[in-house]
């Protein structure tokens, strides 16, 4: 018996629909991927990279983790960035956060969440680095602003990786963008944090 049969059924329908619209789509895609974008986003199920920007398979290389954090010692994230920049030669790296991020909320409350508290430390650092900007705001405003500040901080972290620094030194055209997504209306906002 196939487990989660409904998901396999949906998969067949989805693949058929794509093949009906564009015969040869999968065979063409199977030969190579050439995405222009690397998406670094939150693991949140409400923020699926391809769907938000309405792009089909093959167009976005994706890394997601809780609260879209780029940590300089995270081999997973760094490997994704390196492969995307050096091998796939993406032209844009998009760090996309979202309002209502559970990771940001959890970092700001004072309860314990287990292992993840170690990961959320990085968000607490963003709060500490921006303590003046966050001071005096109401709880919701503070969380929203921290979601934005976190994106900007992670954009800066991407820029400071040896991978991106070396790419720029080699004269490669590569832009790092900071975006935020509103889960209440499905709209993306550019935080004007783009660095080239």
* Catalytic site residue from 9, 10, 46, 190: 46
Q: How far is the CB of 67 from Co ion (least distance, A)?
A: 5
Q: Give contact residues for Co ion (rule: CB under 5 A).
A: 42, 44, 101, 103
Which C-beta is closer to Co ion: that of 64 or that of 89? 64
9 is catalytic: no
Locate tokens 């991106």: which residue?
164
Residue 158: which H helix or E strand, with range?
A: helix 139-159
Which C-beta is closer to Co ion: that of 67 or that of 80? 67
Alpha-carbon span 130 to 90, nearest angstrom:
31
92 is catalytic: no
96 is catalytic: no
Q: How far is the CB of 180 from Co ion (least distance, A)?
A: 11
Q: How far is the CB of 116 from Co ion (least distance, A)?
A: 12
Alpha-carbon span 121 to 148, nearest angstrom:
17
Q: Could you give the residue ranges of the DSSP H alpha helices within 57-101? A: 75-82
Which C-beta is closer to Co ion: that of 44 or that of 153? 44
* Catalytic site residue from 42, 77, 96, 147: 42
Which C-beta is closer to Co ion: that of 68 or that of 161? 68
Alpha-carbon span 158 to 137, nearest angstrom:
28
* Catalytic site residue from 63, 98, 122, 177: 98
98 is catalytic: yes
C-beta separation of 84 from 40 below 8 A: no
Q: How far is the CB of 38 from Co ion (least distance, A)?
A: 18
44 is catalytic: yes
* Cα dihedral value 54, 67, 162, 115, nearest 10: -140
* Catalytic site residue from 92, 101, 147, 177: 101
Using only C-alpha atoms, what is the Rg of the chain? Answer: 19
| Nearest CA among 191, 171, 102 for reference residue 143 | 102
* Catalytic sites, residue numbers: 42, 44, 46, 98, 101
């Amino acid at each position: 018996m196939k487990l989660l049969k409904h998901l396999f059924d949906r998969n067949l329908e989805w693949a058929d629909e794509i093949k009906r619209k564009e015969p040869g789509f999968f065979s063409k895609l199977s030969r190579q991927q050439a995405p222009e974008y690397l998406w670094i986003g939150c693991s949140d199920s409400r923020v699926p990279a391809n769907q938000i920007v309405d792009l089909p398979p093959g167009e976005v290389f994706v890394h997601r983790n809780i609260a879209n954090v780029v940590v300089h010692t995270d081999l997973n994230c760094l490997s994704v960035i390196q492969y995307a920049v050096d091998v796939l030669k993406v032209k844009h790296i998009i760090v996309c956060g979202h309002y209502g991020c559970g990771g940001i909320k959890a970092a700001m409350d004072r309860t314990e969440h287990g292992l993840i508290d170690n990961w959320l430390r990085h968000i607490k650092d963003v709060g500490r680095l921006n303590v003046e900007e966050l001071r005096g705001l109401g709880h919701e405003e503070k969380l929203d602003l921290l979601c934005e500040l976190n994106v900007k901080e992670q954009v800066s972290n991407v820029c400071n990786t040896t991978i991106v620094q070396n790419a720029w030194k080699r004269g490669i055209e590569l832009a790092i963008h900071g975006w935020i997504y509103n889960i209440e209306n499905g709209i993306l906002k550019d935080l004007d944090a783009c660095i080239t």
